[in-house]
Amino acid sequence: MPKTRRLAIAIALVCALTAVAAPGTAFADPVPTPSTTAPDRPRTLDEVSRQIDDLYRRAAAATDAYNLAEEQTKEQSAQIVRLAQDIVKGQEKIKRLKDQAGATARMQYRNGGLPPGAQMMLSGDPEGFLDGAGALRQGQQAAQGLLGELNRTQADLAAYSADATAQWKNLEANRVKKEAAKKDITEKIAAAEKLQSQLKEQERERLAELERKKEFDSQTAWLSTGVLKDINGSASEQGRKAVKFVTDQIGKKYIWGAAGPDTFDCSGLTSQAWLAAGHPVPRTSQEQWARLPHVAIKDMRPGDLVIYFADATHVGMYIGDGAIVHAPRPGRTVTITGAGSMPILGVVRPDK
């Protein structure tokens, strides 16, 4: 990464994470007010913050479930189309084989109505008869081959039909999963937005300060371990392309289930970045964690994906200098933040 770009990232991180630590800024919970003491929600801003975080985290988990079901639905739909094409080809082949077998049977009937000895006596040409008998045996063998191929094709056709039935059942199950996840997502986001809407303007500002301070404290604690001095890997050619893609998306809105070009969720951003780099990766953060090669944090390089939380429900792309680009959550935009600003589960490398 060019020096000027690293400097710009560092400045952005300092501005984003240290502004909340300026002298005179208060982070203690405010004295409860009528707007924060309603019986159906938390009493303090700190409690509000924790509940909002929990709702968005649960919405993120449901989003991963939705995205996985969506990907599986696409794969199953494509498989059903392929199976339908195979079934049509199989039916056409069976018809062709039956026609050939029928023609062979009719020919054998015409030529084989008399016993072989009688045919030889009546032929007047014993040598020609023997040649014809050899050809007849070859025809009989060909007929048997046709029947064998016909039986195999019919067995294949039955297997295709059974597979298509199974795929239809899976498709329907995934549609049910998608609808359940969608309902869960919308409910969690609506509940979080309701909590925020019940706050006064000043309280919303202080809530945002609390959230920024939480990220700042987490990033500071991560950096204080000295981890950054060991992280000096250079991006691969594909990694540089992926980094360019995510940085070009900064400022675009987070929308759950979105994978561009104008809106993204967290794994929609990272999967599209690596697709643009010419190296497709799984769609969801949980699948990225499960299926991509793991690397140690000290060995990570720009382009690697940092997976967050114990259930792998969030992901960002490391861009160097202790920073990631990610799509945070509903109501936010794609942004740069500290790689240690959330609990790190681990790091995966798409192009290892």
Backbone angles phi, psi at 24, to 5 degrees: 90, -10
- Whole-Å CA distances, 87 to 8, 152, 158: 59, 13, 9
> Among all chains, which residue has been given the structure tokens 């056409």?
92
Angle formed at CA 286 by CA 214 and CA 217, multiple of 5 degrees = 10
Residues contacting 112, CB < 8 A, separation 6+: 136
The answer to whether residue 266 is catalytic is: yes
Catalytic residue among 15, 279, 294, 326: 326
Cα-based distances in Å from 200 to 76, 195, 214: 48, 11, 21
The answer to whether 279 is a known catalytic residue is: no
Catalytic residue check, 326: yes
Candidates 15, 279, 294, 314; catalytic one = 314
The torsion defined by the Cα of 61, 167, 279 and 326, in degrees rounded to 10, comes to -20
Q: What residues does 337 pair with on adjacent strands? A: 324
Q: Which active-site residues does the annotation give?
A: 266, 314, 326
